[in-house]
A = this chain, B = another copy of it.
Amino acid sequence: MLTLGIDPGLERVGYGVVRKVGSKIECLDYGLIKTPKILIPERLKIIHDGVVELIAKHQPDALVTERLLFTKNVTTGMDVAKALGTILLAAADTGIQWTEYSPPEVKQAVVGTGAADKKQVTFMVRRLLALKEDPKPDDVADALAIAICHCFRANFPK
């Protein structure tokens, strides 16, 4: 079963593709969809089309994101939510299942504590996926963490 984890943003969208094989999780792909500082609708189109392309390439069984919880910068939060809207649309366009987890759920699944910091998340993502180097930047590590969380949490059909 293939899972596409996505960490949305307007400037950078982190993604990670993982496969659960028995009790192990393999990393198939990860990276960033970046957008230049052009008009917002055009940036959203790059994001949407990029996710549609990832789905076409990997044919994942699920698209997974982190629940948005904003308290700090409302304007940035709105832009992240706009980006997420177009990512969820890509899921609907291609008919793949979407699931979301809260940030503490993701940290709990990957590190074992809901209060883990970014460094711990990166360390455990690298270890769980047996990567040769740290997944960077944080957007990528987060996307992989979300995908790993889904592998641990979801009830995969046999």
Whether A88 contacts B92 by the Cβ 8 Å rule is no
Partner of A85, one of B39, B71, B85, B93: B85
On chain A, the number of residues with a Cβ less than 8 Å from chain B's Cβ atoms is: 27
The B-contacting residues of A in range 87-119, CB under 8 angstroms, are 88-89, 91-93, 98
- Tell me if A's interface is mostly helix, strand, loop or mixed: helix
Closest to A93 in B: B45
Q: A77-B78, A82-B82 are in contact. Are A89 and B39 (CB under 8 A)?
A: no
Partner of A92, one of B45, B70, B83, B84: B45
Point out residues on A near B: beta carbons under 8 Å.
39-42, 44-45, 48, 68-71, 74, 77-79, 81-86, 88-89, 91-93, 98
